[in-house]
Structures are given as structure tokens and as C-alpha cells.
Structure 1
Amino acid sequence: MSSSTTQTSTIGSIGAPSRRNTELALLVFAVVIPVFAYANVGLAIDGSLPPGLLGYGVGLGLLAGVA
């Protein structure tokens, strides 16, 4: 006489994917766009980059990092 056994396996719950890299990319994009716009306006008006461009970019980056 042969006995048949059924093997079952359980599937664990799948958690929500982490979107931390996407969030970081969007924050970087949100900082880069105004910095490029500021540089573009400086180039259009004076023909050179504004002297406070680096400080402006760092300030926006810090604000985005805190948020």
C-alpha cells in the first residue's frame, strides 16, 4: 500500500517596498533645478555665474536634508 503525502509551503507576507532611494533622488532633483535656474539667470543678466551660487546650493541642500 502506498501513502501519498502532500507537501505544502507557506509564503511569507511581502512588505511594502522601501522608496528611500527614490525620495533621495527627488530631493536632489528639487535642489538642482533652482540652483540651475539661479545660475541661468546670472548668466543671462551678467554673463557670469552669481558669486553666491555655491552658498545658495548648499543652503537649499541643507534645508532639503533637514526636511
Structure 2
Amino acid sequence: MPTLRLVDPDGYSVPGALRTTAPDTEAQARTDLKNLAADHAAQWADFGYHPDAYQIRADPAA
């Protein structure tokens, strides 16, 4: 099962933004991480963060 990771525009993993998924839960996990990106970007908007600059990366199963 892959683990999805939300990465901010500076390349750092967003705290609390790891989701281990199965094929039937991956779409919901991606939606949750996109919502988290919007929240995180709003918190750091004074520093120029924008939700579109975040990436969701998949770490392969170990």
C-alpha cells in the first residue's frame, strides 16, 4: 500500500500529512490532502504560500 505525503512549496513534508492508502481509499486521501494544503497555505499566506504549489507524492510500499 502506498503512503501519500503532502509537500509544501519549499519541499518539506507538512506535519500530519501522511496517509497510508489502499486502492479503494486513495481518492479520498488525495481529497483530504488537497483540503489540508488549502488550510496550510491559508495559515502561511503572508509568506506567499498558495495551495496550487503543494504536491502530493506517493511513497512506494516498503
TM-score range, shorter chain: 0.3 to 0.5
Which protein has the larger Cα radius of gyration, Structure 1 or Structure 2? 1
Higher strand share: 2
Output the TM-score relative to the length of structure 1: 0.35
Output the TM-score relative to the length of structure 2: 0.37
Higher helix share: 1
